[in-house]
Structure 1
Amino acid sequence: MQKSILITGCSSGIGLDAARTLKARGWQVFASCRQQADCDRLIGEGLKAPRIDYCDPDSIGTGLGEVLAATGGRLDALFNNGAHGLNAAVEDLPVEALRDIFESNFFGWHDLTRQVIPIMRSQGAGHIVQCSSTLGLSYLGWRGAYTATKHALEGLSDVMRIELAPAGIHVVLIEPGPITTRFRKNGIPYFERFIDWKSSPRRADYETGLIPRMYQDGGPDRFELPPSAVTHALIRALEATRPKPRYYVTLPTWFAGTLRRVLSTRAMDAVISRL
């Protein structure tokens, strides 16, 4: 029987590469996007692409319904992937900005996952794979909002892993690190919408550091890998009889995972403050 997977955030980057690769490996892939125009583009290249926007609860139910109608009510795997960043000093983050990023990076994921769990429970098997981040393991200045969503995801996924194991459902976290995507550029509209940086006591730091990094294309980061590196980890998680709880992808993620085990918090602060 052909296995089925629903992947979110497939307009570009990690989600798109995963959808194309798994389709080529024989999976029945449902590559969802937030915008209908992106869904139409993927349908044009032969992918099934229901519209799912984590901030639109109706689209979550409708999109999943389309998937189940096509599979006869079965779903073997869910890859939660769509997310965005919001770079700013924590003191400059309005509460509505945190609500917005948690809706798209956390609450929407939980909504879709809760709707998928009964399907997998009735099957007695399934994989829920969460695309987390190095910042789910560690932290960086100016990344407070995104770090908070990924730390929440890590904690919730750890609890789900032990709760759902008796039902035959594997819950896996993938920790990418620096990957060549449009992630940094995609965060700019949220920065412009929510952050009054000109009134911030850190204005000079925005002008000399954060803003040039966001708006100027400085080329790949050190240790940056292509989206296919994440897809490789996803395939390992999906095809393993007993998948690991976490799959690290890039060197910075391995570094962060190691440091958090061996260093005190003060020592971690000292290292991270120099980055």
Structure 2
Amino acid sequence: MEQYSPQIRTVNVLRYVTPLREGGSLPAIAEADDGFLYVLKFRGAGQGVKALIAELIGGEIARVLGFKIPEIVFANMDEAFGRTEPDEEIQDLLKASVGLNLGLHYLSGSITFDPAVSSVDAALASRIVWMDCLLMNVDRTCRNTNMLMWFRELWLIDHGAALYFHHSIQNWKEQAVKPFVRVKDHVLLPFAAELERADVTCRSILTPEVIRTIVSLVPEEWLTGEEGLSAADMRRIYEQFLITRINSSEIFLKEAQHARSVSI
């Protein structure tokens, strides 16, 4: 594997195009000053910057594991943006989101992955299930696959619901070694016949150095505000949570294997 050296671009948001009402946090399609459209995730939405942190860390872990992920960018939004928005709820969201937000390149023409229409080979499915167990990603189910088919290839999107341990950060050590029981609802679990091989492969890629590099991408301003913890403290917790969880992967691997044996 080539050395992982991510570069996250920063763009300025120019135009709010349309809301994506299916998202609980009211993401939107917006145009940036580089001429591209992005699915914008707002810091002022319900889960705040923690959803953006999960989106960034989860997305970059997926990328380093070789999955197709839309480009992630930091998206600056100034206070003048959205003043002409007629919808009061959206206007309030935009006012609360001045500053640094997160954008994912908009895959125009993509369609939602449907397991009844498209199949996924065992190796790919197993690696995705393994990753979602690592991230504790509750949002890859039949009801909401958070996967797209674009030019006949599978793309992963929306990791904002992952890493839910950070909503009660004081218990991170306990959470790091817990099985992921929600894997039973994973849309790709029936296809994931190579979980042990996926465990070996993914652990070999996600070294402590790679994890630290990914966590280092999180802007310091997103890490402040947790009572009694500095941004540096928060960064170390994310690093150690993921490193501990990878080192203890047999716990969530066994849970996934058990859930699969029950479901098929």
TM-score (norm 2): 0.29
More strand by share: 2
TM-score (norm 1): 0.28
